[in-house]
């Protein structure tokens, strides 16, 4: 399996986030992607390719143009306003406030285009976001060209990003962009299977009223887990999308036995939908030692995930999302891919 990777991700480093009442270095850090790349090499998964630069037209198919135009301006506006450190929003247009009026200053715009303070900017953040998009698009092209599967080693991740908002370490929704691109290239139906520990609220928002992209999501129950405000089992899609969104919220402590039942059910629904191609939002923060998550999957479980996905018999694009136990992130992420290939 080919991997697509860009070193430009590393410019998005040293950013800060709010955890348990303190501003601390982000868990979503450059070493994550470097360790996965190292494991791709040592496991001889296949060649590692540099992405081809793509215009943002494919991103504009799922994101609002004003949001995409905003992202490259964040750091310049932040610096021009005399600030240093990480650009982090602190005010959001929630219930009772105006979300329909685009404000003018950088602090206000950061809040306008986000749902939390978890997607901060440093100097190299935009270049990293763009490279992550290029990685996803290049890997999607490899699958479209006829390869059974490809691995988009995206960083930053994407599944929390919606049409016009960032959050949860995510800016451009790489899996959603790729799914839409497959549709635009002629795929009749596309499925997105999100196995990250956190609900992919951005992906769900983007396709919620669509019957041509099925979204299946396995995650920590939002009653008690981030992102808290989406991801319940009764969210089944709306309008033409009715029945094409499926959530599998699970409690803290969930281990392979229960988690794999949800995966089997999701795979059954996926096969019934009969898509032309599958995009997997591949998070490995379901791991028992993940520092911010509460599931109990073991390293030996990840190849089984890959095997189960391979049994679908469909062209498959793996898109990297979360996973913060850096010591094992390479073993677990590449474990899924080698399991797929076995």
Q: Which residues bind Zn ion (CB under 5 A)?
A: 196-198, 283, 285, 322
| Closest separation in Å from C-beta 124 to Zn ion | 22
Please report, as residue ranges, which positions from 93 to 122 form the binding site for ligand 6XA (by CB under 6 A): 118
Q: Of 18, 34, 189, which Cα lies nearest the Cα of 114?
A: 18
| Distance in angstroms (rounded) separating the CA atoms of residues 297 and 291 | 13
Kindly name the residue from 12, 63, 160, 219 that is annotated as catalytic: 160
Q: Which is nearer to ligand 6XA, 181 or 295 (CB)?
A: 295
Q: From the list 169, 259, 273, 302, which residue makes contact with ligand 6XA (rule: CB under 6 A)?
A: 169
Q: Of 214, 127, 205, which Cα lies nearest the Cα of 168?
A: 205
Q: Which is nearer to Zn ion, 243 or 251 (CB)?
A: 251
> What is the chain's alpha carbon radius of gyration, rounded to the nearest angstrom?
18
Q: Which is nearer to ligand 6XA, 245 or 286 (CB)?
A: 286
285 forms part of the interface with ligand 6XA (CB under 6 A): yes
Distance of CA 145 to the CA centre of its chain: 23
| Closest separation in Å from C-beta 245 to ligand 6XA | 17
Residue sitting closest to Zn ion (CB): 322
322 forms part of the interface with ligand 6XA (CB under 6 A): yes
Q: Is the peptide bond before 46 cis (omega within 30 degrees of 0)?
A: no
Positive or negative torsion for Cα 21, 22, 23, 27 = negative
Q: Quick one: what does residue 118 bind among ligand 6XA, Zn ion, none, with the CB cut-off 5 to 8 Å set by partner type?
A: ligand 6XA
Whether 199 is catalytic is no
Paired tokens of 267: 């795979």
Q: Which is nearer to ligand 6XA, 22 or 272 (CB)?
A: 22
Q: Is the peptide bond before 227 cis (omega within 30 degrees of 0)?
A: yes
283 forms part of the interface with ligand 6XA (CB under 6 A): yes
| Closest separation in Å from C-beta 239 to ligand 6XA | 27
Residue 10: count of CB within 10 angstroms of its CB = 17
290 forms part of the interface with ligand 6XA (CB under 6 A): no
| Distance in angstroms (rounded) separating the CA atoms of residues 334 and 149 | 13
| Closest separation in Å from C-beta 320 to Zn ion | 11
Distances (CA, A) of 273 to 189, 192, 251, 254, 262: 8, 11, 27, 27, 17
Residue 41: count of CB within 10 angstroms of its CB = 14
Q: Of 161, 143, 252, which Cα lies nearest the Cα of 200?
A: 161
| Closest separation in Å from C-beta 196 to ligand 6XA | 4
What lies within 8 Å, CB to CB, of 262 at 6+ separation is: 218, 248, 250
Site mask, ligand 6XA, residues 193-232, x = CB under 6 A? Answer: ---x-x---------------------------x------
Q: Quick one: what does residue 340 bind among ligand 6XA, Zn ion, none, with the CB cut-off 5 to 8 Å set by partner type?
A: none
Q: Quick one: what does residue 308 bind among Zn ion, ligand 6XA, none, with the CB cut-off 5 to 8 Å set by partner type?
A: none
What lies within 8 Å, CB to CB, of 73 at 6+ separation is: none
Paired tokens of 97: 């406030």
Residues at the site binding ligand 6XA, with contacts judged by CB under 6 A: 17, 118, 160, 168-169, 196, 198, 226, 283, 285, 292, 321-322
Which residues carry out catalysis? 160
């Amino acid at each position: 399996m080919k991997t697509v990777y860009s070193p430009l991700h590393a410019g998005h480093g040293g950013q800060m986030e709010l955890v348990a009442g303190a501003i601390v270095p982000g868990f979503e850090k450059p070493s994550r992607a470097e360790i996965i790349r190292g494991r791709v090499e040592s496991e001889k998964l296949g060649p590692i390719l540099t992405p081809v630069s793509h215009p943002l037209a494919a991103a504009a198919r799922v994101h609002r143009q004003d949001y995409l135009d905003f992202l490259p301006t964040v750091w310049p506006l932040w610096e021009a306003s005399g600030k240093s450190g990480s650009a982090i929003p602190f005010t959001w247009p929630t219930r009772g406030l105006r979300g329909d009026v685009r404000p003018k200053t950088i602090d206000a715009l950061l809040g306008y285009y986000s749902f939390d303070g978890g997607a901060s900017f440093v100097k190299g953040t935009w270049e990293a976001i763009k490279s992550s998009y290029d990685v996803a698009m290049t890997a999607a092209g490899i699958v479209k060209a006829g390869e059974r599967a490809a691995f988009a080693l995206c960083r930053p991740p994407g599944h929390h990003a919606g049409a016009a908002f960032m959050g949860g370490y995510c800016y451009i929704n790489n899996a959603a962009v790729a799914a839409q691109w497959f549709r635009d290239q002629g795929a009749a139906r596309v499925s997105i299977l999100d196995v990250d520990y956190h609900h992919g609220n951005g992906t769900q928002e983007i396709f919620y009223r669509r019957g041509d992209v099925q979204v299946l999501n396995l995650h920590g129950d939002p009653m008690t887990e981030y992102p808290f405000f989406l991801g319940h089992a009764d969210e089944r899609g709306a309008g033409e999308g009715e029945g094409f969104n499926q959530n599998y919220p699970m409690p803290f402590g969930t281990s392979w036995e229960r988690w794999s039942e949800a995966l089997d059910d999701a795979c059954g629904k996926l096969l019934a939908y009969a898509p032309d191609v599958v995009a997997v939002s591949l998070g490995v923060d379901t791991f028992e030692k993940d520092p911010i998550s509460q599931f109990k999957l073991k390293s030996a479980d990840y190849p089984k995930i890959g095997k189960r996905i391979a049994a679908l018999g469909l062209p498959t694009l793996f898109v990297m999302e979360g996973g913060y136990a850096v010591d094992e992130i390479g073993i677990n992420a590449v474990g899924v891919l080698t399991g797929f290939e076995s």
